[in-house]
Amino acid sequence: MEDLGGTVLTAAGAFAATNLDDLLVLSVLFLSARTRPVPRLWKIWIGQYIGIGILTGVAAAAALALTPVPIEWVGFLGLVPLVLGCYALIKVSRPSGDPPKPRSLTVPVVVAVTVANGGDNISVYIPLFHSLGPTASVVTGLTFAVLVAVWCAAGYWLTAHPKVGAFCRRAGNWAIPVVYVALGLTIIVRSGIIALLFQR
C-alpha cells in the first residue's frame, strides 16, 4: 500500500517549488482583468488548468518512456507575452486622445504563457513521476489540480488590495505591458534557448 499522505505532501512540495514564479504570471493576468474588460476570469482559470495539465502530461509521458524533453525550446513561447507587451506599449505611446482599446487575452494565450513559464516544472516532474507507481501518479495529478485552484485564488487575492487597484487604475496602461515584456524576456533568457541557438 503506497503512502498516499506522503505522496500528497511530495506533490504539493514539487508544485509549490516550481510554481512560485507562476504567481507573478497569474497576478499580471488578474491585474489585466481588473483594469479592463478582458481577459475574463474564467479564461485565466481554464488557461492555467490546461497549461499545467500539458506540463504534467508531458512530464508523465516522458517519465514513462524514459525520453528526454528538450526543455530549452519551451523558451520560444516566451515570445507570446513579449509580443503582447510590445504591442500594448506601442499602442499606449501613440499620441491619441482616446486610450488604446484592450486586446483580449484568449485561453490559448494564457495556456502558452503558462507553458512557457513551466520549463522548470517539466525538469522536476519527470523524475518525480518516474519514481511513482500508477496510484501515486494519479494522486499526484489530482493534488496538482487542487493546487492550481489554490494558485489562481492566491493570484487573484494578491491583486485585491485597494492600493494595488488604485495603482492599476493610474498606471495600468503602462505597468501591465512592461511586466509582460519583462516576463517574456525572463522566460526566453532563463530557458537557455539563446545559448542553444548560438551553439548551432
What is the chain written as a DSSP string?
A: ---HHHHHHHHHHHHHHHHTTHHHHHHHHHHHHHHSS-S-HHHHHHHHHHHHHHHHHHHHHHHHHT----GGGGGGGGHHHHHHHHHHHHHHHS--SSPPPPPP--HHHHHHHHHHTTHHHHHHHHHHHHT--HHHHHHHHHHHHHHHHHHHHHHHHHT-SHHHHHHHHHHHHHHHHHHHHHHHHHHHHHHTHHHHHHH-
Mean pLDDT of each 10-residue bin along the chain, 200 residues long: 77 88 80 64 89 92 73 69 78 59 68 81 84 88 95 85 63 67 74 67
Parse the chain into domains and list their residue ranges: 4-199
pLDDT of residue 56: 93
Give the model's pLDDT for residue 119.
73
